[in-house]
Structure 1
C-alpha cells in the first residue's frame, strides 16, 4: 500500500495546481506551489509529475508526494512527453531546428542526461509515445520505414537488438503484459487490402505472423491488447464512408487471438459506427459502444461471445473502473451528457445522472469517483470540473474561467482496495435517490419545438402595425382560393342550421341574411346588379367579423375609429341589399 490520498491536477489560466480529492475535502495541496506550464504528464504510478516550462526553459520533474522539484531536464521546444512504465526514462519529442537533428530523446531520470537519441520528422498524438515499453521495461520498440526495431532498455548503447521487417508497415503496438507479441498494421496499397499481423517475439526471425486479418475501408487503426496478451482488438477507421451513412467516415472492429486460433469481425447487433471499445482491467472481457444513435452497448468475453446487452441510449464512451468493478457508459460531445454506472458482477444499474458539455471523463484510482471536466479550447464557456460518486451522485463542482486540463493523479492497482458498493444507510437515502431519479427523469422530457411560422421582415412588420394603428384596416379580408371559398360557404351553411363551430349562438336575422346572400351568390347573378349585391355581401361579412372582434375585445369602443364607423353602416347596407334583391 502506498500513498492513499487521491489528487487532481488542474491546469487553468492562472497556472497549474494540485487538489486533494474525495473522500477528503477538496482543496489545494498546501505544499504544491502554483506554477505555469505548457504541458503536464504523470508517471504511471502517479509518483512523478513532468511539467513543460514556458519559454522553452526545460522540463521540471516533481515528486508528487512532497511537491519538491527533483530535477530539470534540459529540453527545449518540447511537443510531447511520456514516462517509461517504471520511471526510468522520460521521453521527449522536440521541434527540430535543422534537418537530421536527433529530436526524439530518452532522458535518464537518475542522471538527467540523454540515454538514447533518434531523429523523427513528424509528431502525432495518435502514435505517441514513439518508443513503446513493456510494463516491466524488458523491451522497447519503435516503428520505422518498413521495419520494427527492438531495443534493450537496460543498455540502449547496444543499439538495435532485434529487427522485424514488415514492408509498408505504418503502425505497431507492443504487448505490454507480458510483451510476448507485436501487432503491425499495413494500410491499403494499389488495390490490395489493409492487413493486421500479429508476430510472436520469440519467433521474429522467421518473419511469419501467427495471426493475420485483411480488410478494406481503413486509413488508420488503433490497437487494444488485453492484459495477458492473449488477444487484440483492432479499431479500423476510414476518413470517408462510401455508403454516405456517416459524416465521420467508416469504422469496423476486428478481433485476433494471439495464438492464431480465431480472427473475425466482432459480431455486433446494430449497424453503424464503433464509438468506443475498452478491455476490462482483467483482460477477460470488453465493452463496445456501437451503432447509429441511439447506440447500443454490449459486453463480450475474450473469445468474442456476447455476455450482456446494456440496451440503447445516447452513448459514445465506455470507461472501466481501475479494478473492473464498475462500468461507466456516457454520451458526451454533441450528446446530452447522460451518464450510467453499472456494477460488473451483477450487471446492475447503480445510478444515472447527467453531466452536459463534458470534454473528458475518467475514473479516480480508487474506483469510487468519476471526474468530469469541461475544458478549453474544446469549449470556451462553462469550463469547470465535477466529481461524481460511483452511484451517480454529484459530490463536488467547481467552475473555472478558463480550464485547459483536469486529470487524476494515477496510482498502482494495489494502492486502493477493491471495495463493493456501500449499502444504503437508511430509507431516507433511498427516498433521496429515488427523488433524484425522478428529477432527472423530469429533466429528460423531450423538447417539443414550436411550430414554424412564416418569416416577416422587421420593417414589413413595423409598417403593417403603423398602418393598422392609423387607418384601422388590419381587418381587410385576404383573397381566398376557390377551395377556401367552398369551405367558407360550407361553414356558413352550418352556422345557418345553428351548428356554429365555436358552439355559440348566431343572431337569427344575421343567419337569414347570410343564407339568402349565399343562395344569391351561388346563383352567380350576372350583370351590374349581381356585382353590386356581391360587393354589399362582402361588406356585411366584414362587419360580422368586426362584431366578433369587438366582442372579444370587450366592446366596440376598443376598436379603431375607422372600424367603429364601418359598424355603423350595417343598417344602411342591409337595406341596400334588400332593395337590390327586390329588383331581381
Structure 2
C-alpha cells in the first residue's frame, strides 16, 4: 500500500502583526479579540516581563479557513492605533529565498492593450448602433448615403437577454448563463475584453467613467447577489445585499454614482449609504468614523440624485407628522449642507438636474387645503450663484405638467421646455419654452408658447437648439421638430406605434423604433425597414468632448467654414453613387437588348 505522506507545510498557519502590546494578565482578553481557532492554536510571543510583542501565530483546522482569515482580517482596524497585517506563514520561506544581492530589474515585454476607442477614428466620423431582432444582434455604421450597406458585424444568439453600451461607448455588454461578457476593440466590437463571472446575471450597470460595473443575479444567496467589479481587470471589488425577501430587485440601478466615479450611493431604510469607490467602504464623518448619512435625515428620504458635474446630492424628505417636506443640497464627502427648502402639502416631487450642473429643477405637485385639487410649481435652484438662490414658478390648478426637459450642453442660452394641458380640455396640449437667462445672476422668463401641439414627450438634440415633440400615446406616433432659436417648426413626420426615440450623439440623426416588448406587430425603425421581433436599437455613446467650451463656441460660430469641407465630400459621394446607379441601368438595358 502507498505510504502516508506527512504534510510539512504551514498553509494552515497565519502571522498577525499590529496587535496591541499587553501584559500577561490581559493575554486572555487579547486572545478573544483574535477569534476562534483550533485548540492550542494561538502562540503569543512575549518578552522577559511577560508582555506580548505585538504579533501572533495562529493555526486553523483547514487551509481554506486560514486563507479566509487572511482575506477578511488583513487591514482590519482594531482601533486608531492598531491595524492588523495578516500573512500566511508559508510566506516566510518565500521572502527568505530572496537574494541579499540586488538584482537588476528586467521589465516584462510591453504588450499594447486593445484600443477601445478605435471606432472613433472612422474617417467619415460616422456613428455606430447596435440592433437586436429575433435571434440576431448586429453592429451597424450609420451611413445614410449608402442605403444598401451590410452590418459591420453580426452574431446569432450573441446575448441571452438584452445588450448594453457603456456610458462612453467603449464596451458592449452581453449576457450569458455563467455571467456577462465585455466586447470592444477595432471598429467592430467583436473581441472579448473581459468576462464577469456572475452566474445567472440579469441586470447590469456601468459607472459614468466606465471604471466599475455593477451586476445582480436572482440566483443564490441574496446577501452577496449585488456585486461591484473592476472593469479593466474583471476583479470583484465587493458584494452587497441584492433583492429583498420577495426576491425582486425593485430599484435599478441599485447604486447611484458620482460624475467622476469617486463615490457611489444606495438608499437605505432610513438613511443613505455613500461609499468610496477606492476602498469600497462608507465615507467618513466629522468624527473620522465610517457611517451612513443619517443624522441629517430624520425621516426616510424618498429620492436622491447626484449632480452630473459636481459631488453634490439632492435629497427629498417627505412630510412626516408636523415636519414639512424638505429638499436638501449636500456636498460630499464633507456632508456640508449647501441649501435647504421646506415644502408643504406635497403630493409628489421630481428632481431634474441640468446637464452641466448649473441648475436643479424640483417639480412639486401640491395639495390644496381641501385636498381635492392639485397644482404644480417649479423650484429652480441656481447652483452657480452664491447661497444657491431659488426661483419659484407657480402654475394654476387648471394646468397639468406632462413633461419637462432641460436643453443640453451646447446652447447659446440656457433653456428648458415643458408640455402642459388644460384641466378643462385634457385633449389639448401646449408646449412652452423658457430661458434661465444665464448661469450667473439670471432670471427665468417665458420665451414662447406653442399652442395645440399633440405631444406627451420631449427630446432635445444633444447639440441643443432642436427640440423634438413626440406623441407616444397609444398608436399615434406624431413627430414634430422645432428650432428653439427661431421658434419655428422645421419638420414633421409620423411613425405608427412608435415606442422608442433616440438621438445619435452628434444630434444630426434621430432613430425611432417600435420594440417587440411593447407591440408584437409593426416592429421596425426609422429607416423604414421591417425586422421580425425587433427588441433593441441603441446608438453607441461617445465620450465627452476634449475641446474647451470656448473652442466649441468658436466652432459653432464658424460652422459654415467647417461644414463646407464635409458638404463637398458628401456631394462627391452622391455623384459617385449616381454614377454607380447609371452604370447599373446601362448594364440592365444592354442585357435587355441582348
TM-score normalised by length of structure 2: 0.61
Given candidates 454, 457, 480, the residue that maps to 1:340 is: 480
Is the 8 Å Cα contact of residues 181 and 196 (structure 2) preserved in structure 1?
yes
- Aligned partners of 2:544 and 2:465: how far apart in 1? 13
Residue 280, structure 1, aligned to residue 412, structure 2: no
Give the drift of 1:177.
0.6
Is the 8 Å Cα contact of residues 302 and 318 (structure 2) preserved in structure 1?
yes
* Structure richer in helix, relative to its length: 1
Mark the CA change 1:66 to 1:376 in structure 2 (over 3 Å): closer, same or farther.
closer
Higher mean Cα deviation, 103-112 or 141-150?
141-150
Mark the CA change 1:422 to 1:157 in structure 2 (over 3 Å): closer, same or farther.
closer
The 5 A counterparts of 1:225-374 are 225-235=353-363, 253-258=378-383, 261-263=388-390, 265-268=392-395, 271-282=398-409, 284-291=414-421, 292-302=426-436, 303-334=443-474, 336-374=476-514
Aligned to 2:75: none
Structure 2: state its 5+ residue gaps.
1-119, 286-291, 437-442, 547-551, 568-594
- Aligned partners of 2:121 and 2:398: how far apart in 1? 46
The 5 A counterparts of 1:169-208 are 169-179=301-311, 181-190=312-321, 193-201=324-332, 204=335, 208=337
Given candidates 7, 14, 33, the residue that maps to 2:155 is: 33
- Aligned partners of 1:191 and 1:15: how far apart in 2? 57
Give the drift of 1:227.
3.3
- Aligned partners of 1:255 and 1:29: how far apart in 2? 46
- Aligned partners of 2:532 and 2:397: how far apart in 1? 41
Residue 406, structure 1, aligned to residue 527, structure 2: no
Q: Say how many residue pairs are matched.
A: 404
Aligned to 1:21: 142
Residue 214, structure 1, aligned to residue 326, structure 2: no
Give the drift of 1:184.
0.8
Is the 8 Å Cα contact of residues 420 and 430 (structure 2) preserved in structure 1?
yes
SS at match of 1:172: strand
Larger Rg: 1
- Aligned partners of 1:58 and 1:410: how far apart in 2? 23
Mark the CA change 1:41 to 1:338 in structure 2 (over 3 Å): closer, same or farther.
same
Aligned to 1:517: none
Given candidates 266, 269, 275, the residue that maps to 1:142 is: 266
Aligned to 1:117: 239
- Aligned partners of 2:161 and 2:492: how far apart in 1? 36
Give the drift of 1:422.
8.8
Give the drift of 1:404.
1.7
Give the drift of 1:251.
6.8
- Aligned partners of 2:307 and 2:263: how far apart in 1? 10
Give the drift of 1:144.
1.9
Mark the CA change 1:52 to 1:213 in structure 2 (over 3 Å): closer, same or farther.
farther
Deviations along 1:332-352, one digit per CA (max 9) or x if unpaired, are 122622211122333332111
Deviations along 1:121-168, one digit per CA (max 9) or x if unpaired, are 359898432222222223333222322233322x12444345422131
Mark the CA change 1:60 to 1:244 in structure 2 (over 3 Å): closer, same or farther.
farther
Deviations along 1:79-107, one digit per CA (max 9) or x if unpaired, are 321111221111112225335x1222111
Given candidates 175, 178, 182, the residue that maps to 1:57 is: 178
Residue 84, structure 1, aligned to residue 214, structure 2: no
- Aligned partners of 2:360 and 2:121: how far apart in 1? 32
- Aligned partners of 1:2 and 1:127: how far apart in 2? 37
Is the 8 Å Cα contact of residues 151 and 160 (structure 1) preserved in structure 2?
yes
Is the 8 Å Cα contact of residues 180 and 198 (structure 2) preserved in structure 1?
yes
- Aligned partners of 1:215 and 1:406: how far apart in 2? 43
Give the drift of 1:178.
2.2
Give the drift of 1:61.
0.5
- Aligned partners of 1:29 and 1:250: how far apart in 2? 50
Indicate the RMSD between aligned Cα atoms, in angstroms: 3.5
- Aligned partners of 2:127 and 2:365: how far apart in 1? 36
Is the 8 Å Cα contact of residues 242 and 249 (structure 2) preserved in structure 1?
no
Give the drift of 1:322.
1.2
Structure 1: state its 5+ residue gaps.
387-395, 426-584
Deviations along 1:246-294, one digit per CA (max 9) or x if unpaired, are xxx9976543334655445534579443222121212822111122432
- Aligned partners of 2:279 and 2:267: how far apart in 1? 16
Give the drift of 1:218.
3.0
Given candidates 522, 525, 543, the residue that maps to 1:382 is: 522
TM-score normalised by length of structure 1: 0.62
Mark the CA change 1:254 to 1:157 in structure 2 (over 3 Å): closer, same or farther.
closer
